């Protein structure tokens, strides 16, 4: 279970990875520490170049840390070459052998390990069933679709029963519909095999829907680790709030503080009391973040915590986005879910109030 601390499959301790020398030096990983539990679907999420692939490559053993250590089930894996680590990788490109059949591709790693023929056959049959590719077992992988190739790549990586499976943007080559199907399929495979999955993506929606826990990365650092809900509802930093989902940012100044909550004043002189992350002591200039769906709009401005004028209404079918120019000059978006019996209709130019619960807003570093 994601929220119960389990045993650690992987522990990354103070790992740095520096590429290049002198002026061209890049810290691809800048002292990263994280523990990944057994049987967990763990995602590394972040923009291009933040160090996700570098971290996977260090765990796989394709490269070595400049400093720090990586433990697998408590053992330092530095002395182990890649093929001796109980870790396997699924690459973005799949890296299948096109001249071999589906079954031969799946059995390839087992043959390299010198396993007996009968055992390989049994394991390949089991894997074909797991990824629902039995009917195409004799087909060359150059003659199957992208989604089918993805399944074969997964089966091949799972066949030697690794303790940890590393997946480097494995769905990025698939079209939208297939990607959605494979997301469900991957979750099922992880659940059925009980193998720890470390999944890399820059797609925040993919990370939120698939993961037990997510590590959000930026510029070689891990900024926050948590369950999808934690990360979404309680971002620890502005970057996290901005990278995941849509967020309103309001600049303000702290006027008072109690343990866990701070009262912040805004340009329009409105004040809002909201929580803040552990380890952050709000003072001076801060940013308040509020998700558009956690705010509510009311037709009577007097009933709003903050007030403004409706500047634009954008209809999205399932919901509507209301763009409000606040009296302090900031822009703010409120998202309402549409229902057949929406009680209020708004018009642009109307004065409105915006309300939100104390726990919907969050005070972060400016
Ligand atoms: P993407 O999503 O684009 O794959 P990423 O988050 O996986 O990005 P990495 O590939 O880990 O990022 O790269 C992190 C940083 O390290 C980048 O600045 C990259 O240019 C640099 N880097 C990665 N590999 C090397 C290398 N072999 N030599 C020099 N610099 C490298």
CATH number reported for the structural domain that contains residue 166 in this entry? 3.40.50.300
C-alpha separations of 102 from 105, 150, 175 in Å: 5, 11, 22
Q: Please give the distance, rounded to the nearest whole angstrom, from the Cα atom of residue 169 to the centre of ligand 1.
A: 14
Minimal-distance CA residue to ligand 1 atom 20: 49
Task: Please check whether residue 349 lies inside any domain of the structure.
Answer: yes
Q: Please give the distance, rounded to the nearest whole angstrom, from the Cα atom of residue 241 to the centre of ligand 1.
A: 23
What value does the mean pLDDT take over residues 339-345?
72
Q: Please give the distance, rounded to the nearest whole angstrom, from the Cα atom of residue 81 to the centre of ligand 1.
A: 22
pLDDT-derived band of residue 93, with 50, 70 and 90 as boundaries?
confident
Whether 108 and 29 map to the same domain: the answer is: yes
Q: Please give the distance, rounded to the nearest whole angstrom, from the Cα atom of residue 51 to the centre of ligand 1.
A: 6
Ligand 1 test: best mutation among 19, 58, 173, 203, most atoms within 8 Å of CB?
19
Q: What range defines the domain where residue 162 resides?
A: 8-233
Nearest atom, ligand 1, residue 50 CA:
6
Nearest atom, ligand 1, residue 200 CA:
7
Whether 183 and 273 map to the same domain: the answer is: no
Minimal-distance CA residue to ligand 1 atom 11: 51
Q: Flag whether pLDDT at 184 surpasses 60.
A: yes
Task: Please check whether residue 123 lies inside any domain of the structure.
Answer: yes
pLDDT in tens, 52-68: 999 999 999 999 999 99
Minimal-distance CA residue to ligand 1 atom 31: 19
pLDDT-derived band of residue 36, with 50, 70 and 90 as boundaries?
very high
Whether 135 and 94 map to the same domain: the answer is: yes
Minimal-distance CA residue to ligand 1 atom 29: 19
Global ipTM: 0.96
Q: Please give the distance, rounded to the nearest whole angstrom, from the Cα atom of residue 48 to the centre of ligand 1.
A: 8
Whether 259 and 227 map to the same domain: the answer is: no
Whether 72 and 183 map to the same domain: the answer is: yes
Q: Give the chain's domain count.
A: 2
Whether 127 and 160 map to the same domain: the answer is: yes
Buried b (16+ CB within 10 A) or exposed e, 302-311: eebbbbbebe
Q: Contacts for 128-134 with beta carbons within 8 Å, 24 or more apart?
A: 128/102, 128/103, 128/155, 130/155, 130/158, 130/189, 130/192, 130/193, 131/155, 131/185, 131/189, 133/102
Nearest atom, ligand 1, residue 20 CA:
29
Task: Please check whether residue 334 lies inside any domain of the structure.
Answer: yes
Q: Please give the distance, rounded to the nearest whole angstrom, from the Cα atom of residue 172 to the centre of ligand 1.
A: 17
Show which of 202, 233, 264 is a domain's final residue: 233
Q: Please give the distance, rounded to the nearest whole angstrom, from the Cα atom of residue 249 to the centre of ligand 1.
A: 30
pLDDT-derived band of residue 51, with 50, 70 and 90 as boundaries?
very high
Task: Please check whether residue 37 lies inside any domain of the structure.
Answer: yes
The more confidently predicted of residues 11 and 4 is 11
CA 139 to mean position of chain CA atoms: 35
What value does the mean pLDDT take over residues 152-178?
90
Show which of 233, 255, 279 is a domain's final residue: 233
Q: Please give the distance, rounded to the nearest whole angstrom, from the Cα atom of residue 157 to the centre of ligand 1.
A: 23
pLDDT-derived band of residue 176, with 50, 70 and 90 as boundaries?
confident
Task: Please check whether residue 130 lies inside any domain of the structure.
Answer: yes
Q: Please give the distance, rounded to the nearest whole angstrom, from the Cα atom of residue 49 to the centre of ligand 1.
A: 5
Q: What is the pLDDT of residue 349?
A: 95
Average per-residue pLDDT for the chain? 91
Whether 167 and 63 map to the same domain: the answer is: yes
Whether 75 and 145 map to the same domain: the answer is: yes
Using alpha carbons, select from 12, 4, 352, 47 the residue that is nearest to residue 198: 12
Q: Please give the distance, rounded to the nearest whole angstrom, from the Cα atom of residue 361 to the centre of ligand 1.
A: 35
Tell if the pTM clears 0.95, that is, is over it: no
Strand arrangement, sheet containing 306-315: 296-298, 351-355, 306-315, 319-326, 331-337
How is residue 112 written in tokens?
């390299």
Q: Flag whether pLDDT at 4 surpasses 70.
A: no
* First CA to last CA distance, the chain: 35
Minimal-distance CA residue to ligand 1 atom 1: 48
Ligand 1 test: best mutation among 17, 47, 53, most atoms within 8 Å of CB?
53
- Ligand 1: residues whose CB is within 6 Å? 19-20, 26, 28, 46, 48-54, 202
Show which of 233, 260, 280 is a domain's final residue: 233
Task: Please check whether residue 276 lies inside any domain of the structure.
Answer: yes
Reported as type and span, the H/E element at residue 271 is strand 271-275
Range of weakest confidence among 256-265, 329-338, 345-354, 357-366: 357-366
Q: Please give the distance, rounded to the nearest whole angstrom, from the Cα atom of residue 26 to the centre of ligand 1.
A: 9
Minimal-distance CA residue to ligand 1 atom 25: 19
* CATH (domain of 347): 2.40.50.140
Q: What is the pLDDT of residue 264?
A: 94
Q: Flag whether pLDDT at 8 surpasses 50.
A: yes
Task: Please check whether residue 3 lies inside any domain of the structure.
Answer: no
Task: Please check whether residue 358 lies inside any domain of the structure.
Answer: yes
Whether 302 and 169 map to the same domain: the answer is: no
Whether 65 and 172 map to the same domain: the answer is: yes
Nearest atom, ligand 1, residue 202 CA:
2
Whether 267 and 185 map to the same domain: the answer is: no
Whether 199 and 324 map to the same domain: the answer is: no
């Amino acid at each position: 279970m994601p929220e119960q601390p389990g045993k650690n499959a992987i522990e990354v301790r103070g790992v740095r990875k520096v590429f290049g020398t002198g002026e061209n030096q890049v810290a691809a990983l800048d002292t990263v520490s994280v523990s990944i539990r057994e049987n967990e679907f763990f995602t590394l999420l972040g923009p291009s170049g933040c160090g996700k692939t570098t971290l996977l490559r260090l765990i796989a053993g394709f490269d070595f840390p400049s400093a720090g250590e990586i433990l697998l089930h408590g053992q330092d894996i530095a002395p182990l070459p890649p093929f001796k680590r109980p870790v396997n990788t699924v690459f973005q490109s799949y890296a299948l052998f096109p001249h071999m059949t589906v079954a031969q591709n799946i059995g390839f790693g087992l043959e390299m390990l010198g396993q007996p023929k009968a055992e390989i056959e049994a394991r390949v049959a089991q894997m074909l069933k797991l990824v629902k590719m039995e009917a195409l077992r004799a087909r060359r992988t150059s003659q199957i679709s992208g989604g089918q190739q993805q399944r074969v790549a997964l089966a091949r990586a799972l066949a030697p029963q690794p303790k940890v499976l590393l997946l480097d943007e494995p769905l990025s080559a698939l079209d939208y519909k297939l990607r959605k199907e494979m997301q469900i399929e991957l979750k099922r495979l992880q659940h059925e095999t009980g193998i720890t999955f470390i999944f890399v993506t820059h797609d925040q929606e993919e990370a939120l829907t698939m993961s037990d826990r997510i590590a959000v990365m930026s510029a070689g650092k891990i900024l926050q680790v948590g369950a999808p809900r934690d990360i979404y509802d309680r971002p620890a930093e502005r970057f996290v709030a901005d990278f995941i989902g849509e967020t309103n940012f309001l600049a303000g100044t702290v006027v008072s503080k109690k343990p866990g909550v701070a009262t912040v004043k805004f340009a329009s002189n409105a004040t809002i009391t909201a929580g803040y992350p552990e380890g952050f002591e709000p003072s001076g200039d801060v940013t308040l973040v509020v998700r558009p769906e956690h705010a509510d709009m009311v037709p009577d401005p007097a009933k709003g915590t903050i007030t403004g004028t409706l500047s634009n209404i954008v209809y999205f079918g399932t919901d509507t986005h209301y763009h409000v120019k606040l009296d302090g000059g900031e822009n703010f978006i409120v998202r309402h879910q549409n229902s057949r019996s929406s009680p209020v209709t708004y018009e642009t130019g109307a004065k409105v109030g915006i309300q939100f619960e104390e726990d919907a807003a969050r005070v972060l570093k400016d």
